[in-house]
Amino acid sequence: MTQRLLPALAAAAFLALWALGARSMPPALLPSPLEVLGALARPESRLVEATATTAAAAILGLGLAFSAGLSGAVLFLRSRGLELALQPYALLLQTVPIIAIAPLLVIWLGYGLPVAVATAAIVSFFPILTSASVGLKAVDPAQVDLVRLYGATWWQELRLLRLPSSLPYLFAGLRTAVGLSVIGAIVGEFVGSNGQPVTLGFLVLRSARSAQTEVTFAAILASTALALTLFGMVRLVEARVIGPWHAGGER
């Protein structure tokens, strides 16, 4: 019971320290928790609309990253030469700061949602590719020999054995990628949002420039809640799809 209370006690202590600190500082530097809650509740803050738009960008980007990452892992499994040729470039893409790529995406895609979707997809791609590649190969050789003994084709082996066996790895990659997708979407909004539609990244920039710090904090809290919600949804789907013998298993 004590261990379960510790996170709540830590949160209460954090809020108390925050409130005490806000009393000794101007609201433009550090708003109080109540001021942030007030900003969350104000319709003119447009936080609900902004959160929905950013969520759409993050989910679309995550979907693109999952499709591309899984497809790339299947291609690497099929062709060792292709893996040796392309994997270094996938690693190179991971090392390039997304904030450096985002202005190019604005030039290529224009302002608006496509840039946020693209940045979310780029930062989410590598964890899924890596996890899927490891999972598709982490199959018991005896099981591979058995399905081949029964005359299974390569695609049947992939569909009936390798893909089901790789599910824990795929969901591990998704759990990592889902938070990155929100970060990537907001970075894309920093660079490529013109306020139509309103997004969390746009609200953070606009409120910070106008010294509406309570709105900035509220947008940050909304983005955190969005990432945690999407993470929880992935865990829920994982438990339903994989089943009790794999749910929660870390690979």
Low-confidence stretches of the chain (pLDDT beneath 50): 247-251
Query: Do the beta carbons of residue 161 and residue 153 sit within 8 Å?
Result: no
Tell me which residue of 141, 140, 132 sits closest to 163, measured CA to CA: 132
pTM above 0.75, yes or no: yes
The residue written with tokens 């030469």 in the block is: 81
Angle at 136 between CA 151 and CA 247, to 5 degrees: 115
SS (H, E, C) 103-127: HHHHHHHCCCHHHHHHHHHHHHHHH
Which residues, 6 or more positions from 187, have their beta carbon under 8 angstroms from its beta carbon?
98, 99, 102, 119, 123, 201
DSSP 161: I
Query: Structurally, how many domains does the chain consist of?
Result: 1
Do the domain assignments include residue 21?
no
Residue 187 is part of a domain; what is its CATH number? 1.10.3720.10
The pLDDT tens digits of the residues spanning 160-185 come to 899 999 999 999 999 999 999 999 99
Quote the pLDDT of residue 232. Answer: 96
Domain that holds residue 77: 31-242
Do the domain assignments include residue 15?
no
Q: What is the CA radius of gyration of the chain?
A: 22
Do the domain assignments include residue 224?
yes
Quote the pLDDT of residue 250. Answer: 45
Do the domain assignments include residue 23?
no
Distance between CA atoms of residues 70 and 130, nearest Å: 9
Do the domain assignments include residue 168?
yes
Do the domain assignments include residue 5?
no
Tell me which residue of 14, 177, 155 sits closest to 147, measured CA to CA: 155
With H, G, I as helix, E, B as strand and everything else as coil, classify residue 79. Answer: coil
Residues across the chain: 251
The pLDDT tens digits of the residues spanning 130-166 come to 999 999 999 888 898 889 888 889 999 999 899 999 9
Torsion of CA 224, 228, 230, 231, to 10 degrees: 140
Tell me which residue of 199, 184, 175 sits closest to 121, measured CA to CA: 184
Query: Do the beta carbons of residue 127 and residue 176 sit within 8 Å?
Result: yes
Both structure tokens of 166: 């790789």
Distance between CA atoms of residues 198 and 154, nearest Å: 47
Do the domain assignments include residue 14?
no
Torsion of CA 155, 161, 165, 171, to 10 degrees: 30
Do the domain assignments include residue 197?
yes
Distance between CA atoms of residues 218 and 195, nearest Å: 17
